[in-house]
Amino acid sequence: MPPGGLRCVTPTRSDGEERAVASYAEEVGTRLRRIRMQQGLSLQDVERRSGGKWKAAVVGSYERGDRNISAARLCELAEFYGVSPTEVLPQEDAPRPVEHAQAMVIDLSKLDTSDRWSGVRRYCESIQVERGDFNRQVLSVRADDLRALAVIMGTRPDTLVDVLRQEGILLDR
């Protein structure tokens, strides 16, 4: 045990979760590659036209699914390509109740201050600023928001919904 008697514990994912994350990253990458190629751009063209903001090696790693892309970077790259971020996100194989829910609410008070939920907190804060909604207790979200949150968390939307419900963070209204 390290000095002071404290040890770090890294959250682990099950094999199934790891495969789902890898599969989702590959699907996002395939869509990114298709969009780039439809525009007749090579990876080097992307780097050159972006003034070096988008390095060929980094975009290539996103396209292969070797590297997870954050929601913010996905939105920026989609903007660079001139497409909606939703064009980059994979379509769900089978519609889930998430798509048909009247309203889904995130209980902001349940988002602890651990790093685990930091991406979710930042995304929710950006929605609050955009809407001018500073209730600070709960936040209504749409299916598109949940898809973006899934990208941030490196998982599929249906898996994220299940975890958020289990943690008492996502409430159906």
Global pTM reads 0.47
How many degrees, rounded to 5, is the angle at CA 32 between CA 26 and CA 33? 90
Q: What is the CATH number of domain 97-172?
A: 1.10.10.1930
DSSP structure string for 47-62:
HHHTTTSS-HHHHHHH
Mean pLDDT computed over 69-88 = 88
pLDDT of res. 100? 42
Determine the number of helices (DSSP H) and then strands (DSSP E) in the chain.
Answer: 9, 3
Mean pLDDT computed over 63-84 = 89
The band of 95, judged by pLDDT with boundaries at 50, 70 and 90, is very low
Domain boundaries, the chain: 15-88, 97-172
pLDDT of res. 154? 84
The band of 53, judged by pLDDT with boundaries at 50, 70 and 90, is very high
Tell me the per-residue pLDDT of 96-142, one tens digit each, with 9 for 90 and over: 444 444 468 888 888 877 778 888 888 888 888 888 777 678 888 88
Task: Identify whether the C-beta of residue 158 lies closer than 8 Å to the C-beta of residue 149.
Answer: no
pLDDT of res. 80? 93
CATH number (3.40.50.10420, 1.10.260.40, 3.30.565.10, 3.40.50.720) of 15-88 reads 1.10.260.40
Q: Residue 61: pLDDT above 70? A: yes
Q: Nearest 10 degrees: CA dihedral of 10, 13, 18, 22? A: -50
Q: Residue 173: pLDDT above 80? A: no
